[in-house]
Amino acid sequence: SEMSFEWPWQYNFPPFFTLQPNVDTRQKQLAAWCSLVLSYCRHRKLYTLDVMEAQESPVFNNKKISRKLSVEAIQVVFEELRKKGNLEWMDKNKTRCLIMWRRPEEWGKLIYQWVSRNGMNNSVFTLYELSNGDDTESEEFHGLEEWMLLRSLQALQAEGKAEIITMDDGKGVKFF
């Protein structure tokens, strides 16, 4: 599936892999990096990133032109993503992060659309059923990691469209 990913033109432009000193240029460069990281993670369905591992990932390491983004530069890109609300650090040392190429509200909307389309309002589901069940296999949220799923459902709960149920043995949700 890596083959079908369409790299932006900047990816084959060597200066792209060095943070630019000019403020305007740098801003555009960071915006392009953010968009590249998000679309790559979306393509690969990645929900967590490790900074050290990321450095070796093709997204930050273009072997064809022998360029890779430094760890410091990756941190800058990640910080930019955090400011935009697409990333959250998992530890104080900022070595691992959650990456949200779709915000919880957007996921919530997709899930709720599926529920309404299938006339399943007023029904209860286990979280496993939503992310791993046979009925959701063709849905985009199939395989969604549990933390992300939970956040999406919390977003729906805030809108009054769902209620999260906590049982001794894991969580469930009721849609309205």
Residues binding other proteins (CB under 8 A): 123-126, 128-129, 163, 165, 167, 169-170, 172, 174, 176
For residue 136, the minimal CB distance to other proteins (Å) is: 13
CB 53 within 8 A of CB 68: no
Long-range CB contacts (within 8 A, 24+) of 65-73: 65/12, 65/14, 67/14, 67/16, 67/17, 68/17, 69/17, 69/33, 73/17, 73/18, 73/19
Separation of alpha carbons 174 and 58, rounded Å: 40
In this complex, which beta carbon is closest to other proteins, that of residue 78 or of residue 114?
114
In this complex, which beta carbon is closest to other proteins, that of residue 104 or of residue 172?
172
Task: Kindly tell me the burial class for residue 149, based on how many C-beta atoms sit within 10 Å of its own C-beta (0-12, 13-18, 19 or more).
Answer: buried
For residue 92, the minimal CB distance to other proteins (Å) is: 24
In this complex, which beta carbon is closest to other proteins, that of residue 102 or of residue 161?
161
In this complex, which beta carbon is closest to other proteins, that of residue 71 or of residue 124?
124
In this complex, which beta carbon is closest to other proteins, that of residue 31 or of residue 124?
124
Query: Which residues are CB-neighbours of 98 under 8 A, at least 6 positions away?
Result: 47, 48, 87, 88, 90, 147, 148
Separation of alpha carbons 164 and 25, rounded Å: 45
For residue 140, the minimal CB distance to other proteins (Å) is: 21
Q: Side chain identity at 75, as an amino acid letter?
A: Q
For residue 174, the minimal CB distance to other proteins (Å) is: 5
Tokens found for residue 119: 């006339």
For residue 124, the minimal CB distance to other proteins (Å) is: 5
